[in-house]
Amino acid sequence: MIASLPEDVTSDLASNLKTLVLAMLQQRGGRSFGICSTCRHHDSTGTGGYCRLLEVPLAPADGKKICHEHIEA
């Protein structure tokens, strides 16, 4: 869908998304977020994994989702 938009619209969208991400990082005190399976708290135990921080089993698809508690491994 994005590829079908005019170039000026996609350029504005990219700029606004960057502004949003930078504002989110500032609000979080500079703490990043990232993909669940790359987080220090992710354990590949079980069929989908396990979050050691939240102490919950993860479904296979969860490892590909964004983790807001993410800490680089």
First CA to last CA distance, the chain:
34
Return the pLDDT at 58. 93
Return the pLDDT at 51. 92
Which of the pair, 66 or 33, is modelled with greater confidence? 66
Q: Residue 26 above 90 pLDDT?
A: no
Q: Tell me the pLDDT of the chain averaged across its residues.
A: 88
* Contacts for 25 with CB less than 8 Å, ≥ 6 apart: 31, 32
